[in-house]
Structure formats: structure tokens, C-alpha cells
Amino acid sequence: MSTEIGQFNIGQIRRSEHLPARIAAHLASEISESRLKPGDKLPTEHVLAKTLGVSRSVIREAIAQLRNEGMVETRQGVGAFVSERSARLIRIKDGELFDPQSFRALFQLRVPLEVEAAGLAAVHHTPDDLARIDAALAQMTGTEKWTDQGIVADLAFHRVVAEATHNEYFALFIGFIAERISLAINAARARAVLEEIVEATIAEHVALRDAIASRDPAAAREAMRAHLHGAASRIALSLD
């Protein structure tokens, strides 16, 4: 398959928008319109990064989003392949979430899923799961917390908590929703004093991590609920 991805280039990506989401949206369009067909192997991370003029970490995040949406499947040491149509989830386009009602509806769906996932993670997590949660938290609290990498770490934290349930469906659906909600994280950072919002977010994640580590499902559910309602309030979103 050609390494040219349609007529896509970095000039088509507005720098103010979340790059991985923009790249994932384009690749999803290539798949939906059958320019990339079931079973096709995507170009390597290196080729995509060079072609699109972005870092490999951006490409990895875009591929992770497509995997969460069921658009592609990844094979360790081989690469990413377009999934069969029957395996794909419903895709929500980024533009649809600019409608306040649609965005609110998706955030409302997020709450019960992630609250229950936190409780299950408290019960079922392994030492390896906790280590991965700690690694994501460390990145969130490090020097990159003021940058887009802080957002990447935030999303990674939620994905790892979902995976710690050891229920693949939580990981699948929460991963999909979390990628869409990344738009909200960007919006919150744009509207608030960055230092205040980052520190509040970190404190909420620390409380959640500690509740999971303590294997206290009730505390973990409450910590996740507090975090999600805090996140909603930071973008002036009512969940009632």
C-alpha cells in the first residue's frame, strides 16, 4: 500500500486542535470511505510521523484512539491493521461534540461507566496495574504537566484504571469515551487559570489512585465521582 495517506498533510491540521484526534479522524475517514480496506496494514509509526510532520507519540495516541473505537487492531511487533467492519464500534465525530447537548450526553454516559470501573479496579487490580497507574500519575505531576503531554498522561491514567478492572469491555468503551472527552480537557485548560486546574486535577487523581491502592471500592467510586463532577464543573457543564 502506498505510504501517501490521501492528500493529507500537516497543513490540514489546525495547531489549536488536539493533533492525535485530528489524525485519527482523517485515518477513520480513509477507512470509512474504503481507501483503507479491512485487513490493510497501516504505514509504520515512523512513516506516518514523517508523512504528517508530527512526533511518533502523536501517531501512537491516534492509533490508540482508533483501536479503542474498533477501527484498527494492533499486533505486537507487526503493526496496526484495519479491522473487519463487523468488529467496529459506532464512531462519534469530533464536530458532533461541539453541540452542547451531544457533549453533555456523552459526559453523562462517562460517569456511571468510570465510577463503576474505579470500584472494580480497586477490587481486581494487580501490582502491575498499580505500577502503570503510578507511571501515568508521575507523568501527570512531572515537568510536562503544563503541556499537551499532561493531557496524554491524564487519558493514559483513565485507560489504565479501566484496564485494571480486567473486564475488556470497560477498557474498550471508556477508552473510546476518554479520547472524545480529551476535547473537554483542552477546553478546560483554555478557560481556566492553568495552574489552578492542573493542581485540582492532580489532587483528584491522587485521591483516586490511593483509594484503588487501598482496595476500597466504595472510596474509589466516590473519588472517581468527585473527579468527574469536578471536571464537569471546570467547563461549566451541568450533569443533572
Reported residue count of the chain is 240
Could you read off the pLDDT of 74-99 as tens digits, one per residue? 887 889 999 886 455 555 555 555 56
Whether 102 shows a pLDDT value over 70: the answer reads yes
Q: For position 80, what pLDDT does the model report?
A: 92
* Alpha-carbon gap, residue 211 to 221, rounded angstroms: 9
Which position has the higher pLDDT, 88 or 30? Answer: 30
Q: For position 6, what pLDDT does the model report?
A: 44
State the pLDDT confidence band at 2, using cuts at 50, 70 and 90.
very low
Residues 59, 52 contacting (CB under 8 angstroms) = yes
**Collapsed DSSP state (helix, strand, coil) of residue 145:** helix
Hey, how many other C-beta atoms are within 10 angstroms of the C-beta on 177? 20
Residue 106, φ and ψ in degrees, nearest 5 = -65, -40
Q: For position 117, what pLDDT does the model report?
A: 98
Whether 178 shows a pLDDT value over 70: the answer reads yes
Could you read off the pLDDT of 128-158 as tens digits, one per residue? 999 999 998 998 887 665 566 667 788 889 9
Q: For position 16, what pLDDT does the model report?
A: 36
* Alpha-carbon gap, residue 92 to 106, rounded angstroms: 10
* Alpha-carbon gap, residue 82 to 28, rounded angstroms: 10
* Alpha-carbon gap, residue 172 to 68, rounded angstroms: 5
Q: For position 190, what pLDDT does the model report?
A: 56
The torsion region of residue 215 among left (phi > 0), alpha (psi -120 to 50) and beta comes to: left
CA distances from 139 to 21, 59, 166 (A): 20, 19, 23
Domains of the chain, start order? 10-87 (1.10.10.10), 99-234 (1.20.120.530)
Which position has the higher pLDDT, 202 or 10? Answer: 202
Cα 88 from chain centre: 17
